[in-house]
């Protein structure tokens, strides 16, 4: 008897700036083989104005881009149907009404039955991609931050990620916001003025604290507006600015505390730790200080490169979903 034909599945990593879709062939044994990848628009919280439409547009646009790429190189026929998909999306809390809402929206956008779609938080797809079934902790530091871990029994525990208004310590947003807070204290004479203030204000195109105050309350500024200043502060920290170094150190300690909390709850001794996200990967000062703080808060923890990314994790969940259908 001939082997069953492989089936097409999709894994999505839906972030606030863009969404990535990776297609793969699902084999009979449950393994998958990647095809093409495409990028589409970003998402916002489903409860935000236009959130539902943005979510569906992100999925449909990134899927179309991935299909186009795979069809262009001849690895996919245009009429090939999608059989299952998994989406890791920013703002989706597992077990919440928002997750159920996302499930229905994704099924409609991808023209799939709800049972063939799995929607969850992007931290869960990132964990599945980074560690597979290995016990350990994933810490994500980008615009926001969160840590999620698993033990050998398959138990999960999460620390952080409760939204930028409540819980941003360790994120690029937090670094940027605290840097601006220092800058207004420099401007009104509470702190000695340094190049940190001028660099931050130049990056935003402002020259007075009044202009800065007006800018940061704009609805379009938000967490992303603060986060884009983190590289400026990291550069000042590397140049020896004591105030910038203190900010970065505080965020490094916060990230290490997230890992410590997960490891303690899951009873992980000297766990494997994967650190991902734009802040901890690209901000050299934060990365180095986090590595040192981790050994203080979680002795013996082993920083390691992730086995795969969030799209890989989503494809693993999509494969599991397809096999259940």
Are both 123 and 108 inside the same structural domain? yes
Q: Is residue 167 part of a domain?
A: no
Q: Is residue 140 part of a domain?
A: no
CA distance 140 to 265: 18
Whether the Cβ atoms of residue 229 and residue 204 lie closer than 8 Å to each other: yes
Are both 277 and 207 inside the same structural domain? yes
pLDDT of residue 4: 63
Q: Is residue 149 part of a domain?
A: no
Are both 30 and 71 inside the same structural domain? yes
Mark residue 170 as left, alpha or beta (left: phi above 0; alpha: psi -120 to 50; beta: remaining): left
Q: Which pTM value belongs to this model?
A: 0.87
Q: Is residue 144 part of a domain?
A: no
Are both 263 and 236 inside the same structural domain? yes
Are both 97 and 215 inside the same structural domain? no
Q: Is residue 239 part of a domain?
A: yes
Q: Is residue 53 part of a domain?
A: yes
CA distance 301 to 234: 24
Are both 122 and 13 inside the same structural domain? yes
Give the residue ranges of DSSP H helices in the chain.
51-72, 97-110, 122-131, 172-187, 195-204, 209-216, 222-227, 230-238, 242-266, 278-282, 284-297, 310-324
Q: Which domain holds residue 59?
A: 7-132+308-324
Are both 205 and 299 inside the same structural domain? yes
Are both 293 and 190 inside the same structural domain? yes
Q: Which residues contact 95 (CB under 8 A, 6 or more apart)?
A: none
Are both 194 and 71 inside the same structural domain? no
Are both 125 and 30 inside the same structural domain? yes
Q: Is residue 202 part of a domain?
A: yes
Q: What's the structural domain count of the chain? A: 2
Are both 299 and 313 inside the same structural domain? no
pLDDT of residue 47: 85
Q: Is residue 50 part of a domain?
A: yes
CA distance 263 to 158: 10
Burial class (CB in 10 A: 0-12, 13-18, 19+), 63: buried
| CATH number of the domain encompassing residue 55 | 3.30.420.40
- Averaged pLDDT, groups of 10, the chain, 325 residues long: 74 90 93 94 87 95 96 91 95 87 96 96 94 96 94 95 89 97 97 97 98 96 94 97 97 98 97 95 97 96 96 96 89
Max intra-chain CA distance, the chain: 81
Write phi, then psi, for 157 (nearest 5 degrees): -145, 145
pLDDT of residue 8: 97
CA distance 147 to 262: 7
Place of tokens 């969030």: 310
Are both 269 and 318 inside the same structural domain? no
């Amino acid at each position: 008897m001939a082997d069953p034909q492989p089936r097409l599945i999709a894994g999505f990593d839906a972030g606030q700036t863009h969404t990535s879709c990776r297609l793969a062939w699902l084999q009979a044994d449950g393994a998958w083989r990647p095809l093409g990848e495409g990028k589409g628009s970003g998402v916002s919280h489903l409860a935000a104005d236009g959130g539902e439409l943005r979510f569906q547009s992100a999925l449909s646009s990134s899927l179309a881009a991935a299909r186009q790429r795979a069809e262009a190189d001849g690895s996919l026929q245009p009429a090939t149907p999608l059989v299952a998909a998994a989406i890791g999306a920013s703002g989706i809390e597992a077990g919440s009404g928002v997750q159920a809402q996302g499930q229905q929206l994704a099924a409609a956008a991808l023209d799939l039955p709800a049972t063939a779609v799995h929607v969850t938080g992007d931290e869960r797809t990132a964990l599945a991609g980074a560690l597979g079934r290995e016990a350990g902790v994933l810490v994500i530091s980008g615009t926001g931050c969160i840590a999620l871990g698993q033990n050998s029994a398959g138990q999960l525990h999460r620390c952080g990620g409760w939204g930028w208004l409540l819980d941003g310590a360790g994120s690029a947003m937090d670094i940027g916001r605290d840097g601006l807070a220092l800058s207004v204290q420099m401007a009104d004479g509470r702190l000695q003025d340094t190049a940190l203030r001028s660099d931050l204000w130049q990056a935003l195109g402002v020259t007075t604290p009044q202009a800065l105050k007006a800018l940061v309350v704009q609805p379009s500024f938000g967490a992303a507006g603060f986060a884009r200043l983190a590289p400026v502060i990291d550069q000042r920290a590397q140049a020896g600015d004591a105030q910038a170094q203190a900010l970065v150190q505080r965020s490094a300690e916060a990230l290490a505390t997230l890992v410590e909390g997960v490891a303690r709850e899951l009873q992980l001794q000297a766990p494997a730790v994967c650190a991902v996200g734009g802040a901890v990967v690209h901000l050299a000062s934060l990365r180095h200080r986090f590595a040192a703080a981790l050994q203080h808060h979680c002795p013996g923890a082993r920083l390691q490169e992730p086995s795969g990314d969030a799209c890989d994790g989503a494809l693993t969940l999509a494969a599991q979903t397809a096999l259940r259908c």
